[in-house]
């Protein structure tokens, strides 16, 4: 329906109403009616009705299973799809694809399904096409047979579908007439599309003449769609048909009726659906406020416009306007939220009336859904907007002040000069609301703790209107105020403030005054407009408000360090004990006791280091503290080395903004050097050390001081020579290496220092290259003395270093007061120094590295330590070097002996010699090579030594000689002597006498005791008298057929010397060239038994006696010798006896076994002729080395034999002849004549198995002896 | 006459009472405590000994008689007390007028006991007034780790490398201390 047509209908309806009510009565009411859109709309609803039309029809599908009818082609989004569905059994409860909705169903009874029988269920589903549909599936729980089809309807583009509604019923009457009255009236009226379908229980129930009627409504012709019925014999058979009709007029007052004619008499059910497109509705808008009551505001206020806005089918907004009248919709749009006011009942939108010209205004709104014509509504009353008052507001930005300002700084801003917005820029603000005014003065009051009157100056205000300081200011307001008065400064100027514009004022000032005077660290600066009256106007009027206001945040005064003094000779620091002055501003006035307080109030403070070790200068170290100067002394215990940006002054808890580079330099306060002891007679002197040698600690120095750092520095000497750090605590270094507290370092005085250097400077280099120095004097050091031993007068070369006090200053003629060389306590004299030998090359006896000096006369023998002194006061001397002074004085002779003249035969102490000459022998030596000899003094024991030399040896040149002899002849027979010896050299020196033998007494010591005899002289031989040979000799006796006895008497001995040797020689040779010499018993009456003589045979003999010193007498001394004849032979019996010795157990290891046996000889006068041991046994060897067997009797020479080397038992037999025919005999013993050694002991036989022996058994052992005897 | 004597007696007694009262107040208020009193009346056992400055002052006069430009080169204390005092000091002066010679002065108990020109090679300088005392030097040695208990044998002061050094002779060797 066109818009023009709808207006026509509206006019027609109104005209008709006028006609009914009477024109005259209605005419005055007409404007209200015309303005009542709702009425008009209602009229339109009644007059205008949309209509649906067919879009497409699908094709029937049927079957006994689930059905999926096809959506017909051509269906588009917005179309209404109806799915007609018939089925039996009647009571099935089918489901359908999601999105489809069942409108309802109907049945004709409750007859069970069967072929051509059974009640039918007819049902219609709907779904609005969404543009992308898939064919739906109807799913049965039970299914006899079913059929379905989809029919699609379209509507107008702006229309919407009313929810399809419908109802149905059944016809189970007989006959071919089929009529179903729906169970209810779905509300059928003109324009509605009526859709109906019926399902018949048999395929024979096809329909013709289908129509739908409803009382009160005119329903057009029914269009069967699809055109052909469904008739199926599937399952229990069924038929289905239906279509649609358009209601062309009227409104139904009763339920619709579906009627048709069946091809055969059957029953079935039908369902009717009403489809209705609905035209689009216009929005509705009513502005309810302002209504003129209580609607007065001031421009700039917010006002809530109240309205009702709704649209049933679109989302709409309303735009609000203000208008001076209530007509024409020609007002001015209201911006903000009211330009797009949302739907709602009693809704509001906020109107900012800022800038509104004071007046009374209607408010109206307009709204459109884009489909229907725009709607609008004026408020019923007006809003009255009054003009605002002219206010000058004093304010402040949210931005905080700069947090710190250095005391003494000038032209500093209270704001952060890099700020870029009012939110960050601290500024005082002025804003006049409506009309411009001119500001003639602004009084700024300082309300911080700083004394502005005394310490601040040059206040200036700068302004802009954007609150952004960093992009520049508009200009300075007024002139700079030189000083504060009573903590305030009034800036006068002339600045016209534009209404509604905020002016930002930035404060600049000097943190000092011309006194000069400076604010103190820790004080605060805070600017304020204290009162509204502090802002004055020169033109315009305004109500001033807002004061007091203060800039946000806190500005603290920082102390400022401008200069600091340095230690002597330094440019960036100081050493301990040095007094330092710090100059600057804002230090406060800090009394003692508060000078190490880094976190206190104003007038407290500290000086501290924040680099190189954090530490605060102790209160006691601060000597003065004013607002501009601090005096303090560097303490040795200040625990920092300082560094770049290290020094900070804190005042009132505020540190200097910029910290100062300051170093605490190392201070070498002194050193410790070697102490006396060892090879140093005296300690090293003040700052004196010798070069380091690993063998001692004399070359160690320890630098003492402070701030050395804990490690890694270096110690150097003049010329850049580096000293090695000594990391062992010893000697002068009580602390090794770099002390961890930085107070000492131990170093080795380098040997790289030139020997000519006497003194220099040690530099301690800290790791940060900060240094300190100390002087060092080098003591002489002896590295060697060559040779290491000698005699007085020998030239000694002393090598070392630093022997002279200065280069080229060595003594030309030592010794001097300063320069000395000592050998022990003996000082070398001028004559001892020589420039020869090893010093020839240097041409002087004393250089800085070499001294040639003789061992001084008078130097004691022995170890004498050499020491070099190069300065007397204060003493500068070297350590001591060992030197051995040898003596030329011969040593006392050793290994003294007295010998016969053969120089071989020793004369034992207290014995004699049969010679009148005696050789005295000894070893002579001296410490050095000399010509020397042995001297002896021989005295009768009755005479004491008197030092008179009896005899001397030959002279020998050398250091040592052995077996040097000196012979003394002419000694007296029968005399007794003692003697002593000494060594004498060619220079007349002699050793001490040493007495021979154990002969301390009588050796000249004068103790009065007689001397012990060392030897005596006995040249007298013994005397023997045995008659006249050969036959008249008297020495033989007891002559038998086998034996004889020779005995004699000797005499003539002196000094009671007993005879030591007596012999006799006998034989049948009258010349005794052949014969036997046998010993006779000792003493003066010797005797010898001769045995084994032949019977009846002449024998010859002589006798001989020898005394202790070798004097002897043989008698007769030559042929004829003495003679006797043995008697005739006597008869004797020979006898052999076996003595079974032992039968032992098996022997299983190499060992020595022994057994004893007893020998019995019963016969008298027995003479043993033979004795042997016979051993029988069985041996098992190892198969390795040869087994051995050893046998022996009574310690006589044993016999060792090899046994069979086999691992199988082997017998063996051994005969062992006794080397000596001497055995022990046991009682009863009749005779021991030549058989037994004694009559008490048993005999012992030893067996020893060895070699590859495994085991053995001794079967038998026996001794067999053969002897004869006289019965 | 009697009245005059009585007045004198009264004055004298009054003075005694006032003095006693003042003393009592000082003691009770802590101005004078036993330690302070002891200190006031205590005489250090080595007070009769000479400081090196005492000896130098005496010696310098004699040295300047020897050579007006005499400069101190060396002083030695011999045995010394913990407070750096000695009964005998030996000083050697040098002069630019006399090469390789020195003037040795020994002072004992504030009296010069020896004056002698000696062979001496060394340098000297005016003995500064602000040089630390031998007592301070000993204290510094005492503060050196390892030398807290060392036996002090003596002290010498010597000019070396343009600085004065104290050398404190101890049982553990000589410890030098810069003079200023």
Minimum Cα–Cα distance from B177: chain A residue: A670
**What is the spatial distance between Cα A778 and Cα A803, in angstroms, rounded to a whole number?**
9
| Of A913, A918, A914, nearest in space to A901 by CA | A918
Give the minimum alpha-carbon distance from A667 to chain B in angstroms, rounded to a whole number: 10
Interface touch A672/B145, C-beta < 8 Å:
no
Task: State residue A1208's pLDDT score.
Answer: 87
Interface touch B173/A674, C-beta < 8 Å:
yes
CB of A636 closer than 8 Å to CB of A708: no
Q: What tens digit of pLDDT does each residue of A1013-1030 get? A: 889 999 988 899 899 988
Q: What tens digit of pLDDT does each residue of A1037-1067 get? A: 999 888 899 999 988 877 756 667 899 999 9
Mutant choice from A670, A764, A879 vs B, greatest count of B C-beta within 10 A? A670
| Of B173, B168, B75, nearest in space to B122 by CA | B75
Q: DSSP for A861-897? A: SEE--EEEEEETTTTEE---B--EEE--SBPPPEEEE
Task: State residue A1010's pLDDT score.
Answer: 63
- pLDDT reading at A1232 higher than 50: no
Rg of chain B (C-alpha set): 24
Interface touch B161/A759, C-beta < 8 Å:
yes
Give the minimum alpha-carbon distance from A517 to chain B in angstroms, rounded to a whole number: 37
Q: For residue A429, give both structure tokens.
A: 């603000």
Quick one: chain A helix, strand, coil %, rounded to 5?
5, 45, 50
- pLDDT reading at A31 higher than 60: no
Burial pattern A1197-1222, b for ≥16 Cβ within 10 A else e, equals eebeeebebeeeebebebebebeebb
End-to-end CA distance of chain B: 67
Task: Report the 10 Å Cβ neighbour count for A394.
Answer: 21
Interface touch A739/B163, C-beta < 8 Å:
no
Task: State residue A1134's pLDDT score.
Answer: 75
**What is the spatial distance between Cα A456 and Cα A468, in angstroms, rounded to a whole number?**
26
Residue A90 falls in which region: left (phi positive, over 0), alpha (psi -120 to 50) or beta: alpha
CA B18, B19, B20, B24 torsion: positive or negative?
A: positive
On whether any CB of chain B is under 8 Å from the CB of A670, the answer is: yes
Mutant choice from A873, A875, A879 vs B, greatest count of B C-beta within 10 A? A873
**What is the spatial distance between Cα A351 and Cα A308, in angstroms, rounded to a whole number?**
16
Residues 6+ apart with CB under 8 A from A710: A738, A739, A740, A741, A742
Selecting from B119, B120, B174 the residue whose C-beta is nearest the C-beta of A683 gives: B174
* Whole-number average pLDDT of chain B: 87
Task: State residue A941's pLDDT score.
Answer: 85
Residues of B in contact with A739 (CB under 8 A): 145
Judged by DSSP in three states, B61 sits in: helix
Task: Report the 10 Å Cβ neighbour count for A937.
Answer: 22
On whether any CB of chain B is under 8 Å from the CB of A777, the answer is: yes
Residue A104 falls in which region: left (phi positive, over 0), alpha (psi -120 to 50) or beta: left
Q: What tens digit of pLDDT does each residue of A200-230 get? A: 999 999 999 999 999 999 999 999 999 999 9
**What is the spatial distance between Cα A415 and Cα A430, in angstroms, rounded to a whole number?**
17
Q: What tens digit of pLDDT does each residue of A147-196 get? A: 999 999 999 888 889 999 999 999 999 899 999 999 999 999 999 999 99
Q: What tens digit of pLDDT does each residue of A781-819 get? A: 999 999 999 888 899 999 999 999 988 889 999 999 999
Q: What tens digit of pLDDT does each residue of A599-646 get? A: 999 999 999 999 999 999 999 999 999 999 999 999 999 999 999 999
Task: State residue B35's pLDDT score.
Answer: 59
**What is the spatial distance between Cα A1140 and Cα A1160, in angstroms, rounded to a whole number?**
12
Q: DSSP for A658-710? A: S-EEEEE--EEEEEE-PPSBTTBSS---TTEEPPP-TT-STTEEEEEEE---S
Strands A826-827 vs A820-823: parallel, antiparallel or unpaired: antiparallel
Selecting from A669, A686, A743 the residue whose C-beta is nearest the C-beta of B174 gives: A686
Judged by DSSP in three states, B11 sits in: helix
- pLDDT reading at A541 higher than 60: yes
Residues 6+ apart with CB under 8 A from A175: A265
Selecting from A672, A685, A774 the residue whose C-beta is nearest the C-beta of B144 gives: A672
Interface touch B167/A874, C-beta < 8 Å:
yes
Q: What tens digit of pLDDT does each residue of A674-727 get? A: 999 999 999 999 999 999 999 899 999 999 999 998 777 999 999 999 999 999
Q: Which residue has the higher pLDDT, A1141 or A552?
A: A552
Q: DSSP for A993-1013? A: -EE-SS--TTSSS---PPPPP
On whether any CB of chain B is under 8 Å from the CB of A1043, the answer is: no
Interface touch B174/A775, C-beta < 8 Å:
no
Minimum Cα–Cα distance from A697: chain B residue: B173
Give the minimum alpha-carbon distance from B69 to chain A in angstroms, rounded to a whole number: 21
Residues of A in contact with B161 (CB under 8 A): 759, 761, 774-775
Judged by DSSP in three states, A34 sits in: helix
- pLDDT reading at A3 higher than 50: no
Task: State residue A515's pLDDT score.
Answer: 86
Question: What is the pLDDT confidence band of residue A838, given thresholds at 50, 70 and 90?
Answer: very high
Query: What would the mean pLDDT of A63-76 be, rounded to a whole number?
Result: 94
Query: What would the mean pLDDT of B46-59 be, rounded to a whole number?
Result: 90
| Of A680, A678, A670, nearest in space to A708 by CA | A670
Query: What would the mean pLDDT of A1149-1164 be, rounded to a whole number?
Result: 72
Helix axes A3-21, A37-47, angle to 10 degrees: 110
Query: What would the mean pLDDT of A471-500 be, rounded to a whole number?
Result: 96
- pLDDT reading at B159 higher than 70: yes
A2-11, A359-368, A951-960: least confidently modelled range: A2-11
Interface touch A687/B176, C-beta < 8 Å:
yes
**What is the spatial distance between Cα A308 and Cα A866, in angstroms, rounded to a whole number?**
128
Residues of B in contact with A684 (CB under 8 A): 173-174
CA A572, A576, A581, A587 torsion: positive or negative?
A: positive
Interface touch A670/B166, C-beta < 8 Å:
yes
Which A residues in the span 692-731 are in contact with B, Cβ-Cβ below 8 Å? 704
Selecting from A669, A732, A818 the residue whose C-beta is nearest the C-beta of B121 gives: A818
**What is the spatial distance between Cα A1026 and Cα A1121, in angstroms, rounded to a whole number?**
11
A and B: number of Cβ contacts within 8 A: 100
**What is the spatial distance between Cα A335 and Cα B153, in angstroms, rounded to a whole number?**
105
Q: Which residue has the higher pLDDT, A473 or A1225?
A: A473
Mutant choice from A666, A671, A717 vs B, greatest count of B C-beta within 10 A? A671
Selecting from B119, B146, B161 the residue whose C-beta is nearest the C-beta of A775 gives: B161
Question: What is the pLDDT confidence band of residue A36, given thresholds at 50, 70 and 90?
Answer: very low
Residues of A in contact with B171 (CB under 8 A): 675
Interface touch A761/B161, C-beta < 8 Å:
yes
Task: Report the 10 Å Cβ neighbour count for A1039.
Answer: 16
- pLDDT reading at A42 higher than 60: no
- pLDDT reading at A1230 higher than 50: no
Minimum Cα–Cα distance from A701: chain B residue: B175
Mutant choice from B174, B177, B180 vs A, greatest count of A C-beta within 10 A? B174
Residue A987 falls in which region: left (phi positive, over 0), alpha (psi -120 to 50) or beta: alpha
Task: State residue A1165's pLDDT score.
Answer: 62
Cα angle for residues B171, B173, B179 (degrees, 5° grid): 115
**What is the spatial distance between Cα A505 and Cα A499, in angstroms, rounded to a whole number?**
16
End-to-end CA distance of chain A: 195
Interface touch A873/B175, C-beta < 8 Å:
no
Strands A391-396 vs A428-432: parallel, antiparallel or unpaired: antiparallel
Minimum Cα–Cα distance from B173: chain A residue: A675
Residue tagged 């000096």 (tokens): A853
Interface touch A676/B121, C-beta < 8 Å:
no
Q: ipTM of the predicted structure?
A: 0.80
On whether any CB of chain B is under 8 Å from the CB of A873, the answer is: yes
Task: State residue A1132's pLDDT score.
Answer: 74
Selecting from B160, B170, B172 the residue whose C-beta is nearest the C-beta of A687 gives: B160
Question: What is the pLDDT confidence band of residue B58, given thresholds at 50, 70 and 90?
Answer: very high
Interface touch B172/A672, C-beta < 8 Å:
yes
Mutant choice from B52, B140, B176 vs A, greatest count of A C-beta within 10 A? B176
Task: State residue A1225's pLDDT score.
Answer: 64
Residues of B in contact with A775 (CB under 8 A): 160-161, 163, 165
| Of A270, A268, A269, A276, nearest in space to A252 by CA | A276
Residues of A in contact with B104 (CB under 8 A): 873
Cβ neighbourhood burial of A31 (10 Å; 0-12, 13-18, 19+): exposed
Name the helix (H) or strand (E) containing A775.
strand A771-778
* Share above pLDDT 90 across residues of chain A, in percent, rounded to a whole number: 72
Distances A986 to A236, A440, A1258 between C-alpha atoms, Å: 170, 132, 79
On whether any CB of chain B is under 8 Å from the CB of A433, the answer is: no
Judged by DSSP in three states, A771 sits in: strand
Residues of A in contact with B118 (CB under 8 A): 817, 873
On whether any CB of chain B is under 8 Å from the CB of A774, the answer is: yes
State how far Cα A696 lies from the chain centre: 38
* Whole-number average pLDDT of chain A: 89
Quick one: chain B helix, strand, coil %, rounded to 5?
35, 35, 35
A26-40, A482-496, B81-95: least confidently modelled range: A26-40
Q: What tens digit of pLDDT does each residue of B2-49 get? A: 456 667 777 777 777 787 777 776 666 666 665 565 555 555 667 789
Mutant choice from A687, A689, A697, A763 vs B, greatest count of B C-beta within 10 A? A687
Task: State residue A595's pLDDT score.
Answer: 97
Give the residue numbers in B contacting A (CB under 8 Å), as ranges: 74, 76, 92, 102, 104, 118-121, 140, 144-147, 156, 158, 160-161, 163, 165-167, 169-178
- pLDDT reading at A1235 higher than 70: no
């Amino acid at each position: 329906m066109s818009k023009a047509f709808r207006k026509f209908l509206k006019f027609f309806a109104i005209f008709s109403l006028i006609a009914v009510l009477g024109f005259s009565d209605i005419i005055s009411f007409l404007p209200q009616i015309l303005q009542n859109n709702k009425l008009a709309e209602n009229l339109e609803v009644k007059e205008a009705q949309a209509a649906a039309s067919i879009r497409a029809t699908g094709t029937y599908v049927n079957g006994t299973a689930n059905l999926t009818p096809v959506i017909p082609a051509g269906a588009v989004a917005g179309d209404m799809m109806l799915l007609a569905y018939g089925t039996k059994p009647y009571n099935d409860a089918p489901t359908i694809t999601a999105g489809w909705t069942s409108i309802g169903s109907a049945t004709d009874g409750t007859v069970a399904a069967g072929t051509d029988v059974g009640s039918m269920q007819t049902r219609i589903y709907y779904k609005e096409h969404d543009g992308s549909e898939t064919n739906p599936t109807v799913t049965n729980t039970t299914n006899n047979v079913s059929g379905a089809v989809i029919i699609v309807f379209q509507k107008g583009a702006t229309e919407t579908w009313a929810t399809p509604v419908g109802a149905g019923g059944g016809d189970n009457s007989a006959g071919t007439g089929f009529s179903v009255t729906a169970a209810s009236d779905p509300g059928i009226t003109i324009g509605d599309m009526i859709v109906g379908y019926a399902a018949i229980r048999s395929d024979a129930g096809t329909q013709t003449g289908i129509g739908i009627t409803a009382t009160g409504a005119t329903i057009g012709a029914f269009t069967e769609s699809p055109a052909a019925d469904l008739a199926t014999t599937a399952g229990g058979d069924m038929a289905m048909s239906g279509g649609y009709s358009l209601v062309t007029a009227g409104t139904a007052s009763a339920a619709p009726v579906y009627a048709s004619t069946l091809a055969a008499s059957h029953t079935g059910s039908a369902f009717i659906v009403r489809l209705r497109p609905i035209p689009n509705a216009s929005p509705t808008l009513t502005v309810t406020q302002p209504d003129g009551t209580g609607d007065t505001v001031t421009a700039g206020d917010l006002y809530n416009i109240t309205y009702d806005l709704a649209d049933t089918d679109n989302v709409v907004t309303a735009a609000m306007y203000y208008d001076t009248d209530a007509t024409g919709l020609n007002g001015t749009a209201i911006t903000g939220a009211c330009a797009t006011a949302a739907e709602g009942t009693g809704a509001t939108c906020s109107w900012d009336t800022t800038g509104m010209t004071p007046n009374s205004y209607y408010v109206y709104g307009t709204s459109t859904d884009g489909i229907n014509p725009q709607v609008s509504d004026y408020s019923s009353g007006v809003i009255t907007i009054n003009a605002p008052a002219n206010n000058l507001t004093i304010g402040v930005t949210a931005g905080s002040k700069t947090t710190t300002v250095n005391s003494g700084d000038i032209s500093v801003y209270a704001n952060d000069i890099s700020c870029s917005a009012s939110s960050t820029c601290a500024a005082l603000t002025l804003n006049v609301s409506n009309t411009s005014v001119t500001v003639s003065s602004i009084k700024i009051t300082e309300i911080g703790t700083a004394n502005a009157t005394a310490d601040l100056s040059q206040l200036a205000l700068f302004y802009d209107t954007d609150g952004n300081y960093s992009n520049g200011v508009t200009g300075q307001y007024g002139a700079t105020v030189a000083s504060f008065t009573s903590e305030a400064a009034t800036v006068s100027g002339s600045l016209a403030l534009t209404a509604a514009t905020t002016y930002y004022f930035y404060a600049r000032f000097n943190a000092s005054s011309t006194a000069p005077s400076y604010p103190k660290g820790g004080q605060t600066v805070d600017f304020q407009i204290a009162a509204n009256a502090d802002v004055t106007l020169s033109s315009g009027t305004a109500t001033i408000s807002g004061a007091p206001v203060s800039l946000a945040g806190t500005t603290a005064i920082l102390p400022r360090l401008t200069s600091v003094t340095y230690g002597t000779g330094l440019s960036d620091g100081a050493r301990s004990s040095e007094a330092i002055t710090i100059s600057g501003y804002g230090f406060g006035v800090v009394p003692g006791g508060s000078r190490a307080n880094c976190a206190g109030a104003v007038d407290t403070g500290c000086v501290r280091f924040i680099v190189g070790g954090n530490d605060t200068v102790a209160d006691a170290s601060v000597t003065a503290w004013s607002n501009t100067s601090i005096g303090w002394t560097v303490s040795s215990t200040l625990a920092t080395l300082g560094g770049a940006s290290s020094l900070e002054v804190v005042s009132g808890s505020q540190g200097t903004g910029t910290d100062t580079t300051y170093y605490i330099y190392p201070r070498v306060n002194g050193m410790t050097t070697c102490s006396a002891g060892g090879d140093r007679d005296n300690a090293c002197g003040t700052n004196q050390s010798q070069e380091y040698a690993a063998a001692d600690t004399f070359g160690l120095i320890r630098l003492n001081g402070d701030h050395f750092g804990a490690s890694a520095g270096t110690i150097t000497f003049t010329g850049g020579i580096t000293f090695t750090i000594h990391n062992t605590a010893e000697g002068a270094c009580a602390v090794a290496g770099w002390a961890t507290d930085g107070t000492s370092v131990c170093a080795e005085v380098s040997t790289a220092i030139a020997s000519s250097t006497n003194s220099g400077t040690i530099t301690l280099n800290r790791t940060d290259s900060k240094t300190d120095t100390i002087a060092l004097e080098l003591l002489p050091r002896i590295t060697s003395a060559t040779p290491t031993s000698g005699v007085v007068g020998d030239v000694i070369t002393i090598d070392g270093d630093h022997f002279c006090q200065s280069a080229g200053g060595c003594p030309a003629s030592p010794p001097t007061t300063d320069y000395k060389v000592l050998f022990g306590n003996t000082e070398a004299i001028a004559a001892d120094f020589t420039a020869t030998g090893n010093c020839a090359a240097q041409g002087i006896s004393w250089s800085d590295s070499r001294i040639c000096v003789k061992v001084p006369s008078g130097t004691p023998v022995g170890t004498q330590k050499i020491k070099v002194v190069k300065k007397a006061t204060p003493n500068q001397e070297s350590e001591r070097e060992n030197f051995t002074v040898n003596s030329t004085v011969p040593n006392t002779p050793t290994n003294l002996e007295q010998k016969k003249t053969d120089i071989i035969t020793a004369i034992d102490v207290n014995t004699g010699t049969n010679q009148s000459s005696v050789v005295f022998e000894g070893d002579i030596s001296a410490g050095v090579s000399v010509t020397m000899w042995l001297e002896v003094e021989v005295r009768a024991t009755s005479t004491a030594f008197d030092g008179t030399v009896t005899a001397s040896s030959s002279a020998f040149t050398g250091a040592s000689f052995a077996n040097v002899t000196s012979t003394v002849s002419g000694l007296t027979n029968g005399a007794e002597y003692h003697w002593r010896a000494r060594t004498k050299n060619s220079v007349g020196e002699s050793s001490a006498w040493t007495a021979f033998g154990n002969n301390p007494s009588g050796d000249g010591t004068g103790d009065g005791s007689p001397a012990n005899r060392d030897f005596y002289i006995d040249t007298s031989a013994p005397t023997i008298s045995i008659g006249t040979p050969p036959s008249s000799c008297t020495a033989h006796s007891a002559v038998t057929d086998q034996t004889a006895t020779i005995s004699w008497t000797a005499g003539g001995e002196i000094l009671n010397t007993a005879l030591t040797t007596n012999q006799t020689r006998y034989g049948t040779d009258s010349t005794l060239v052949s014969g036997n010499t046998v010993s006779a018993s000792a003493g003066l009456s010797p005797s010898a038994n001769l045995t084994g003589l032949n019977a009846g045979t002449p024998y010859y003999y002589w006798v001989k006696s020898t005394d202790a010193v070798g004097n002897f007498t043989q008698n007769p001394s030559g042929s004829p010798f003495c003679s006797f004849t043995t008697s005739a032979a006597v008869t004797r019996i020979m006898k052999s006896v076996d003595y079974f010795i032992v039968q032992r157990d098996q022997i299983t290891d190499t060992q020595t076994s022994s057994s004893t046996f007893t020998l019995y000889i019963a016969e008298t006068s027995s003479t043993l002729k033979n004795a042997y041991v016979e051993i029988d046994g069985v041996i098992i060897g190892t198969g390795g080395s040869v087994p051995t067997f050893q046998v022996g009797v009574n310690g006589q020479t044993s016999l060792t034999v090899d046994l069979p080397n086999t691992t199988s038992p082997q017998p063996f037999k051994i005969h062992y002849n006794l080397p000596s025919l001497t055995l022990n005999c046991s009682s009863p013993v009749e005779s021991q004549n030549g058989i037994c050694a004694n009559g008490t002991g048993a005999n012992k036989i030893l067996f020893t198995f060895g070699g590859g022996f495994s085991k053995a058994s001794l079967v038998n052992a026996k001794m067999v002896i053969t002897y004869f005897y006289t019965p | 006459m009697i009245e005059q004597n009585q007045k004198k007696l009264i004055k004298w007694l009054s003075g005694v009472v006032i003095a006693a009262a003042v003393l009592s107040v000082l003691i009770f208020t802590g101005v004078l405590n036993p330690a302070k009193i002891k200190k006031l009346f205590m005489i250090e056992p080595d007070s009769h000994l000479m400081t090196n400055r005492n000896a130098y002052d005496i010696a310098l006069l004699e040295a300047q008689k020897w050579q007006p430009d005499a400069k101190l080169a060396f002083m030695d204390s011999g045995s010394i007390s913990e407070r750096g005092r000695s009964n005998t000091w030996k000083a050697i002066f040098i002069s630019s007028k006399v090469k390789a010679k020195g003037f040795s002065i020994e002072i004992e108990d504030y009296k010069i006991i020896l004056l002698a020109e000696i062979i001496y090679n060394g340098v000297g300088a005016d003995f500064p007034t602000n040089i630390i005392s031998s007592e301070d030097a000993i204290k510094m040695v005492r503060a050196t780790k390892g030398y807290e208990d060392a036996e002090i044998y003596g002290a010498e002061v010597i000019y070396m490398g343009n600085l004065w050094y104290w050398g404190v002779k101890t049982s553990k060797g000589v410890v030098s201390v810069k003079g200023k």
